[in-house]
Chains A and B, each alone.
Chain A
């Protein structure tokens, strides 16, 4: 009996690992080993062609004296904060507006999700046409009010804000759909008893809806933050590798790409990759920690 059990346990282990082996191999070969290798070459001056030398933490020191890197850090940070703020508030507001039983809601849900399914290149191209200084629709509409609009994507003072609008329309879809599903799961009797107590719409929102969907807010916050950090396709299409005008659209991933694939400074670019990874990781952990702390204090 024990022998049979041992044998079946052994067999389960074997077949379990056989079934998950695709993922396990992929994780080792395409994630863990490259990640470790990336860490190693971030301490070298490798350029892919000649021999490398170990330079210690020199790449990391250089990074923080590299004006372009610091610029990309600032561009990315400002974009993450603004786009995530707008996206979360707008997607929650849309979900609240859409959370009624009506056929029309399907139409609007589809409309708000459309920018999320179209490729980033197409989105970037059409918006650059809409924002174009002389023949763009936006400046035409402004001219109706007697305002002469700027060269939105050609002027470093305006480009980040025009880009923010473009990206928020593509970011909103997924969190909106997730919020909508969460809102439909809030037990209706909570609202009914609140109504009996005389609670108004805002009281219901702040004392029932938001606490009930808090885990979903945290989830959307994390996925949107990560998505914003990963910004590449639209910015690269609109602003080229240098993030012009005036590097105002030079995102961290673009600088990583530029240093690695244009300048072939693999050691330096790997250091950027690791700094990028650590920043994203810390942001994620801070959001998680912060949301857990609140949970302990509340109720």
Chain B
């Protein structure tokens, strides 16, 4: 009797999970499926679940209609610079807060934590005017340079991780005559690899998927990123099967890198998110 109740609740659990997971995954299956359909099948009614015959026509067309190769290079350039600069600067700052006693340390660290909840949208106007003065409009500098100054969330994550590493190592190295920079680069940085990897993944996702930043700062097509190229296919607002083919093909390509990173580094990403909650 008891056995039956247990297996029923188990069955119910799985049914709910399967139904909901379809709602969450289906859109991305549908994106891929549509992108591979021939023109007449895209508007087929009833919709065809599996594309048959398969075509890669939309991928080729959409990629060459605009200069997506250049968009990709631009995106990779911005993403690459941002990942390195943001993570390295955050690690330096976190080291300062975690390992050195200096005047005003606690109050400044509270400010770091407080800025974690500041929505950046509040600052887009004055930052735009500031970058305008600096001549950074329509240049990638506007999207790269602000990342050189540490991210509060990363500073917090690395700070917590550093607190878990015994400072005896630092002291031993000091006795051996290492200065703080040497300690940081030679001893701590290698030990920080797991948490740095988490930050790299977060920063990759955020920069790769960023739309508002490029939208504000990049005006001419030679500076555009993937996000702007796809938005531009969308803004044609054509309701044709060709246009839907292009939209879905480019959306699929654009989604592949974050999905791959997520599949291969899931534990790092999820570990980092769980840790952010542990602050409470």
Q: Which residues of A contact B (CB under 8 A)?
A: 12-13, 15-20, 22-27, 29-31, 33-35, 37-38, 41, 48, 94, 97-98, 100, 104, 108-115, 117-123, 125-127, 129-130, 132, 134-135, 137, 140, 169, 172, 174, 177-178, 180-182, 215-216, 218-220, 222-223, 226, 229-230, 232-233, 236-237, 240, 253, 256-257, 260-261, 266, 269-270, 273-274, 276-277, 280, 284
B16 / chain A contacts, CB cutoff of 8 Å: 97
* B152 to A, closest residue via Cβ: A23
Interface centre among A33, A126, A182, A256, by most B CB within 10 Å?
A: A126
A12-B101, A256-B125, A257-B212 given. 6 additional CB < 8 A pairs? A31-B118, A37-B129, A114-B259, A125-B234, A177-B274, A230-B121
A121 with B150: CB separation less than 8 A: no
Count, A-B residue pairs, CB within 8 A: 255
B13 / chain A contacts, CB cutoff of 8 Å: 97, 100
> A30-B123, A129-B248 in contact; A169/B280 too (CB < 8 A)?
no
Cα of A104 to Cα of B119 in the assembled complex, Å: 36
Q: Chain A contact residues: over half helix, strand or loop, or mixed?
A: helix
* A261 to B, closest residue via Cβ: B216
B119 with A229: CB separation less than 8 A: yes
- The 3 A-B residue pairs with the shortest CB-CB distance in the complex, in nearest-first order: A26-B149, A19-B96, A16-B102
* B145 nearest CB across to chain A (Å): 9
Cα of A172 to Cα of B20 in the assembled complex, Å: 12
- The verdict on B208 contacting chain A, using a C-beta distance below 8 Å, is yes
A26 / chain B contacts, CB cutoff of 8 Å: 146, 148-150
B130 with A34: CB separation less than 8 A: yes
> A20-B96, A26-B150, A237-B231 in contact; A135/B43 too (CB < 8 A)?
yes
A126 with B251: CB separation less than 8 A: yes
> A113-B262, A177-B270, A266-B125 in contact; A19/B255 too (CB < 8 A)?
no
- The verdict on B27 contacting chain A, using a C-beta distance below 8 Å, is yes
B108 with A20: CB separation less than 8 A: yes
Q: Which residues of B contact A (CB under 8 A)?
A: 13-14, 16-17, 20-21, 23-25, 27-28, 30-31, 34, 42-43, 45-47, 89, 92-93, 95-97, 100-103, 105, 108, 111-112, 115, 117-119, 121-130, 132, 146, 148-150, 152, 155, 180, 184, 205, 208-209, 211-212, 215-216, 227, 230-231, 234-235, 239, 244, 247-248, 251-252, 254-255, 258-259, 261-263, 266, 269-270, 273-274, 276-280
A27 / chain B contacts, CB cutoff of 8 Å: 111, 115, 149
Cα of A112 to Cα of B42 in the assembled complex, Å: 27
Cα of A181 to Cα of B43 in the assembled complex, Å: 44
A233 with B212: CB separation less than 8 A: yes
Listed A/B pairs (28) with beta-carbon separation below 8 Å: A13-B102, A16-B96, A16-B102, A20-B108, A26-B146, A27-B111, A34-B126, A35-B123, A38-B125, A108-B21, A109-B270, A118-B258, A119-B254, A121-B209, A125-B31, A125-B234, A129-B34, A140-B47, A169-B27, A180-B274, A219-B277, A230-B119, A236-B211, A257-B212, A257-B216, A269-B125, A270-B125, A276-B121
B123 / chain A contacts, CB cutoff of 8 Å: 30-31, 34-35, 38, 273
Cα of A276 to Cα of B152 in the assembled complex, Å: 21
A125 with B126: CB separation less than 8 A: no
Cα of A274 to Cα of B133 in the assembled complex, Å: 22
Of B119, B129, B146, B216, the residue contacting A48 (CB under 8 A) is B129
A140 with B45: CB separation less than 8 A: yes
* A61 nearest CB across to chain B (Å): 20
> A12-B101, A113-B262, A216-B280 in contact; A35/B231 too (CB < 8 A)?
no
* B29 to A, closest residue via Cβ: A126
Of A118, A232, A237, A284, the residue contacting B259 (CB under 8 A) is A118
* B49 to A, closest residue via Cβ: A137
A30 with B122: CB separation less than 8 A: no
Cα of A280 to Cα of B21 in the assembled complex, Å: 32
> A19-B92, A117-B262, A178-B277 in contact; A140/B46 too (CB < 8 A)?
yes
Cα of A230 to Cα of B90 in the assembled complex, Å: 24
A182 / chain B contacts, CB cutoff of 8 Å: 277
* A24 nearest CB across to chain B (Å): 7
* A76 nearest CB across to chain B (Å): 12
* A5 nearest CB across to chain B (Å): 12
B209 with A120: CB separation less than 8 A: yes
Cα of A172 to Cα of B270 in the assembled complex, Å: 13
B130 / chain A contacts, CB cutoff of 8 Å: 29-30, 33-34, 37
> A118-B28, A137-B30 in contact; A280/B119 too (CB < 8 A)?
yes
B27 with A130: CB separation less than 8 A: yes
Cα of A237 to Cα of B250 in the assembled complex, Å: 15
Cα of A226 to Cα of B205 in the assembled complex, Å: 19
* A115 nearest CB across to chain B (Å): 6
B211 with A119: CB separation less than 8 A: yes
* B153 nearest CB across to chain A (Å): 11
A222 / chain B contacts, CB cutoff of 8 Å: 117
* A110 to B, closest residue via Cβ: B266
* B122 nearest CB across to chain A (Å): 4
B121 with A118: CB separation less than 8 A: no
A118 with B255: CB separation less than 8 A: yes
B34 / chain A contacts, CB cutoff of 8 Å: 129
B23 / chain A contacts, CB cutoff of 8 Å: 169
